[in-house]
Chain A
Amino acid sequence: MSSDDAMSTPASGAPPADRDVPATERSSPSQSAPPPGALPRRFGSWYVAEHWFRTMRAYLQTMLMTGIGTPLLYLYALGVGLATLVDQNIGAGSADAGAVGAVGYLVFVAPALLCSSAVTTAVDELTYPVIAGFKWNPFFIGMHAAPLQPRQIADGIVIAVSGRLLAQSTLYYLFMLLFGAVPSGLGFLAIVIATLTGLSFGVLVMAYSATIEQDKGQMNYVMRFVVLPMTLFSGTFFPLETLPVGLHWLGWISPLWHGTELARVASYGYQEPLWLTVAHVAYLLVLLAAGVALARRITTRRLTR
C-alpha cells in the first residue's frame, strides 16, 4: 500500500506534465494509480492510527517511564510490601485460610493491577487528547477535510490505543514474571485481557469525550466518581465477596471487575464456573462494541454538521 503509484491521480487522467509531480512519479507512468479515494476508503483507519502513533512518539520517554515505573512501584508496594502483612495475618497458600483464595496476595493482586493500569492508560489517551482533537488542536477536522471518514477517525484512535495498551501490558506482564506473580503457564493471556479491559471501558469514555464541546471539568467528575470507585470496588485489592451482597452489583457492571477476574483465571487458574468466564469475555466485548458504535456515531455527527 505504500508503493510509489499510490498517489491519487485525477480521475480524468494523468495530471498535465508541468504539474508539481515529482520525478519519481513521472518516471513510472506504466504503474496504474488506484482511483482517487480508494486507498483512504480502505486504509483510512490505519492512517489515523499512524498519526496517533506519531504523536505518541513525542511522549515516548514519558510512556516508557510510566510503563516501567508503574509495575515496579505497584508490584513492590502492594505485591511485596502489603502482601507481607496480608499473608502473615491471614495466611496464604492454604485454600481454607487465605482471604484471597489459595494464593498469596502478590499473585492475587498482580493481575488486577495489570488490568487497572490498562484502564488508567486508556482513560489518559481517550479523554483530553480526544477533546483536543475536536477543539483545542482540531486536527480531526483536518483529517475529515482530507479523505478520511469520521468513522475511521474513531476506529484509528482505537487501533492506536490498542497498540499502546498491548505494549504496556506486555511490559507489565514481564515485571509480573520477574516478581514471580504468575504461576500459570497461560498467564500471558492476561496481556490480551488487560488490553481488552482497558479498551472496553476506555472507548466508552472516548465516546463521552467526543460529546464534550465546552470543557467544564466533566472529566474530573468522570475520574472521581467513575474511575476511582471502579478501581476500588472491582475486586482489585480485595475480593468482591468481601463487600456486602448489596454492593456486589458494583463489580458486575464494572468492566474492570470482569477483566480482573478473567486475568486471574489466566494467571493463576482462579476457580470460577465456566459460564462466568464466558460472561466476562462477552461483557467486555459487548461494551467495546457499544463504545465503538457510539464513538463512530458521535464523531460523525459532530464532524459533518
Chain B
Amino acid sequence: MPAPVITAVDLVKKYKDFAAVDGLSFEVAPGESFGLLGPNGAGKSTTMRMVGAVSTRTGGGLGILGLDPNTHGPEIRSQLGVVPQADNLDAELRVRDNLIVYGRYFGLPYSYLRPKADELLAFAQLEDKAKSRVDDLSGGMKRRLTIARALVNNPRIMLLDEPTTGLDPQARHVLWDRLFRLKEQGTTLVLTTHYMDEAEQLCDRLIVVDKGRIMAEGTPASLIREHSSREVLEVRFGSARNAEAAEALKGVGDRIEVLPDRVLVYAHSGEAALARVTELGFEPMTSLVRRSSLEDVFLRLTGRSLID
C-alpha cells in the first residue's frame, strides 16, 4: 500500500478544558475518498481545520503529505483545496476577481490565472456573474464559487466541509460528478456531510465521529452490514402513540428505534416484521419497508437524529 497522504494519531484539539477532538486516529490513502460523519458539534470541522494546517493541534500526531502542519503549513496548504463550512470569499470583490486573488495567494501567475478563472467560472456555472459582486450572489452561488476557488491550484487533496449544504439538487449532482472526476485523476478527497446518500455515493471509507471520538470506521457497505440489519420497517402510529407502540413491539425484529414521527424496526425481513406487528394487533397509519442505509448506522451509533 502506498504511504498515506494523511496520518492522524491520537489527534486532540482542546478549547480551554473542552476537548472538541478527543483522540482521533485515522489514515487516508492517496486517491482515496474519505468521509467524516457525525452529529452537530462532533468535531468534524475542527478536525478538518487541523488537517487543513490551519488550526494548531493541542496533542497527538498529524502528518499531511508527509509533512507536519506545525512547521510546514504553507507547503501543505499550497497542495490543498479547501472548501470550509462557512464561505470566506471577499464580498467586496467581484466574482472573477475572487478566483484570481485567491490564486495569487499560491504565487500563481496572472497568465495562468486568467484562463483558469474562466474555466472555474464555467465549472461553477457562474459565467454570467463574473462581474457581479460576491455580495449579490445567492447562498448557493457563493457556495459554488467557494468550491470552484478551491480548485484553482489543482490540489492533491480536497478538504470539503459540508460542500453541498445550500446547493440545489442539480448543482449537487454537478458537484458529485466533478468530484468523481477529480478522484479518477488521483485527487484525494476528505469530506464531511450530513447527507447520508452523499456519503454513500462519494466515500470509499468513512468514520463516524461523536464527541470528538471515532464511533465506527469502514466502507459504507461494511458499516451498514456491521451496525444495521438488512432491512428496516418504518411504521407510523401518530406522534402521540409512537412511543407506546414501540414499547409493545419490543422483540419484533432485531432492534427498535423511536423517532418523533415514526418507529423504525430493524429486521432481516421487513415484510415479516410488518406481519408480526399486525399479528400483535397494531394498525400502523403508514408502513414502509426499505433497505438499511447509512442513516440507520448513524442513528444507531450516535443515538440521535441528524437534526438535533
Interface residues of A (CB under 8 A from B): 1-4, 6-8, 10-12, 15-16, 18-22, 24-25, 34-41, 43-44, 47, 50-51, 54-55, 58, 137-139, 141-149, 303-305
Interface of B, secondary structure class, is: loop
B73 touches A55 (CB 8 A): no
Q: B104 near A47 (CB under 8 angstroms)?
A: yes
* Measured CA separation A244–B172 after assembly (Å): 71
Q: Does B79 contact A8, Cβ atoms closer than 8 Å?
A: yes
Which residues from chain B contact A303 at a C-beta distance below 8 Å? Answer: 54
Q: How far is the CA of A19 from the CA of B186 in the complex (A)?
A: 9
The residue in A16, A58, A304 that gathers the most chain B C-beta atoms within 10 A of its C-beta is: A304
A222 smallest CB distance to B (angstroms): 23
Residue on B with the closest CB to A144?
Answer: B54
CB distance from B195 to the nearest CB of A (A): 23
> CB distance A16 to B185 under 8 Å?
yes
Chain B residues 115 to 160 lying within 8 A of chain A, measured CB to CB, are: 115-116, 119, 151, 153-154, 156
A19 to B79 CA separation, bound complex (whole angstroms): 14
Highest count of chain A CB atoms <10 Å: which of B74, B84, B91: B74
A–B complex contacts, Cβ < 8 Å, 10 sampled: A6-B109, A8-B79, A16-B185, A35-B75, A40-B74, A50-B104, A138-B88, A142-B89, A142-B90, A305-B56
Quick check: B79 and A36 within 8 Å, CB to CB?
yes
- Chain A residue numbers with a CB within 8 Å of B78 are 8, 36-37, 40, 146-147
Residues in B whose Cβ lies below 8 Å from that of A18: 185
If the complex has contacts A147-B73, A147-B105, A148-B105, are A20 and B151 also in contact, measured as CB distance less than 8 A? Answer: yes
The answer on a CB contact under 8 Å between A304 and B55 is: yes
Contact between chains at A139 and B104 (CB < 8 Å): no
B186 near A16: Cβ-Cβ < 8 Å: yes
Q: Closest CB of chain A to B161's CB: distance in Å? A: 11
Contact A54 B56 (CB under 8 A): no
Q: How far is the CB of A50 from chain B (nearest CB, A)?
A: 6
* Min CB gap A130→B, angstroms: 14
Give the nearest-CB partner of B134 in chain A: A137
Cα(A31)–Cα(B55), bound, Å: 34
Given A35-B75, A139-B90, A147-B73: A47 and B107 interface contact (C-beta under 8 Å): yes
Given contacts A51-B101, A54-B97, whether A146 and B106 have CB atoms under 8 Å apart is: yes
